Amino acid sequence: MRKRVLSLVGLSWIILLSGCFIDPNEKANELYVTASQYSQKMQSEAASYSRTLEVYRSAQNGSD
C-alpha cells in the first residue's frame, strides 16, 4: 500500500515538473504569427475584391 502511495506521489511530481519546462511563450508566439498572417491575407483579399468590384462596375457601365 505504501509503495502505491509513494509511486502515485512520485508520478504526480513528475507530471507537475514536466509542465514547468515547457515555454508558454513559444506557443503564444506561434499563435500570434499565425493570426498576423491570417490578418494580412484577409486584408489583401479584401483589397483585391474591392479592385475586382471596381473593374466589374466599370465594365458594366461601359457595356450600357
Residues 5-55 have pLDDT tens digits of: 888 888 888 877 776 667 778 888 988 998 888 888 877 777 788 887 888
- CB-CB neighbours of 20 under 10 Å: 6
pTM over 0.85: no
Predicted local confidence at residue 63, as pLDDT: 58
At residue 1, the 3 state secondary structure works out as coil
- In this prediction, residue 8 carries a pLDDT of 86
Cell of 15: 507530471
Q: Which three cell numbers stand for residue 41?
A: 491575407
Give domain status of residue 17, yes or no: no
Asked whether residue 9 is domain-assigned, the answer is no
- The answer to whether position 16 is within a domain reads no
Q: In this structure, is residue 1 part of a structural domain? A: no
Give me the domain span that covers residue 59: 25-64
Considering its fold, how many domains does the chain have in total?
1
Query: Is residue 18 situated within a structural domain?
Result: no
Residue 7 within a domain: no
The verdict on residue 14 lying in a domain is no
| pLDDT of 32 | 92
pLDDT value of residue 6:
85
